[in-house]
Amino acid sequence: MKMKAVAKSRPGPGIQLIEADVPKPGPGEVLIKVKYASICGSDVHIYKWDEFAQTSLRHLPRIIGHESAGEVVEVGEGVDNVKVGDYVGIETHIACGKCYQCRIGKPHVCQNLKVLGFHIDGAFAEYVVVPAENVWKVPDSIPKEWVPLMEPMGNAVYTVLSGEITGMNVLVVGTGPIGAMAVAVAKAAGARKVIATDINDFRLTIAKRMGADIVLNPELDDVRTVVMDETNGNGVDVVIEMSGNPNALNYALDLITNGGWVGLLGLYGKNRIDVPMNDIIMKNLTLYGIVGRKMFSTWVQTTALLESGKVDLSPLITHRVKIEEYEEAFNVIFQGRAMKVLFEIG
């Protein structure tokens, strides 16, 4: 049986629509009929074929995509945690279960980590096979089209809940999809005031809808003056850095109060950047480097936030397309006119 899929078939910019065999689940695996999938920033890197993509995607062709949800249609031998007919989301980081990190309860930083859509065929397809331990059964109370967004929302949840957040003044730097989710999570967790910054006014509009108290464009607004006015001259207690922009990081570090903490999720174009280390030390700041989601405590938190009704993901889904319209899907992202683009596959 054949299926449609979006793949990186050859080096260079671009991706292709292909026809592939429907995969078969082996022992401990499940076959999922994909209903929805959303485009991640890493998929954009693959499309552009930049340095990140070239070093991360070593075997071509590869069906790409990882943010997805669908219905279990077949289970392999030994699978008992889900059954045919279950609607599930997917934890896209596949841990080995044997390395030091896995053995001490930190599989999200597994030494032999594999990522769906990079190291194994992904979910921009009509069907995908994943390990049964990586599927997350979702309550019926959560809209099915939100479920692909639970994977990136997990990044926001992990970042925002890394330190004390209740009653804190929070600065979210960069309001792409995960930054906008971080705004909502911070508000749901009881942040006193959330200030969001971005140079894209479309993104700031969405951040406002996600609950930001104040939105600022650093190219147009005096961010420092506003932040200090809004915090009685103290600066913010927490910085959530989602931009991957060294200049944005440095101005955020200037705006944080003594004893504050910084959650770092944005990836920088270069591994080494200049940061004011003496200021970090003398201000007694705590920095958290965040990758992925804790498996699976972050999924528990993410599910609870969505079930509670305190986080609404609807404003983030700005475009819906069929899998055959993949070029249009990526173009609206390149043009800065989209937050989450959703493939409606099933």
Question: pLDDT tens, 307-318?
Answer: 999 999 999 999
pTM: 0.95
Whether 201 is in a domain gets the answer yes
Q: State pLDDT tens for residues 166-178.
A: 999 999 999 999 9
318 with 200, same domain? no
Judgement on whether residues 149 and 12 belong to the same structural domain of the protein: yes
CATH number of the domain that 6 lies in? Answer: 3.90.180.10
* Helix and strand numbers, DSSP H then E, in the chain: 11, 18
**Which tokens belong to 16?**
């292709």
- The verdict on residue 158 lying in a domain is no
In the predicted model, residues of the chain with pLDDT beneath 70 are none
Q: Is residue 84 part of a domain?
A: yes
Examine residue 300 and state whether it is found in any structural domain, yes or no. yes
The answer to the question of residue 189 being in a domain is yes
Query: Among 289, 307, 326, where does a domain finish?
Result: 289
Cβ atoms of residues 243 and 249 within 8 Å = yes
Question: Domain for residue 174, yes or no?
Answer: yes
Judgement on whether residues 285 and 298 belong to the same structural domain of the protein: no
Q: What is the CATH number of the domain that holds 210?
A: 3.40.50.720
Domain that includes residue 57, residue range: 2-153+294-344
* Residues 238 and 315 placed together within one structural domain of the fold: no
**What is d(CA 160, CA 157) in angstroms, rounded to the nearest whole number?**
5
Task: Specify the length of the chain in residues.
Answer: 346
| pLDDT for the residue numbered 190 | 98
pLDDT at 233: 98
69 and 131 in one domain? Answer: yes
> Is there a single domain that holds both residue 148 and residue 194?
no
Q: Is residue 45 part of a domain?
A: yes
One domain for residues 49 and 19: yes
State whether the Cα torsion 93-345-242-183 is positive or negative.
negative
The DSSP secondary structure of 105-171, one letter per residue, reads T-GGG-TT-EEBTTTB--SSBSEEEEEGGGEEE--TTS-GGGGGGHHHHHHHHHHHTTS--TT-EEE
Domain boundary among 264, 289, 314: 289
Count of domains in the chain? 2
Hey, what amino acid is at 102? C
Residue 74 shares a structural domain with residue 125? yes
Domain match, 309 and 334 both = yes
In a domain, 282, yes or no: yes
Are 131 and 94 contacting, i.e. CB atoms less than 8 angstroms apart? yes
Mark whether 170 and 263 lie in a shared domain: yes
251 & 192 share domain: yes
Kindly state whether residues 73 and 116 are assigned to the same domain. yes
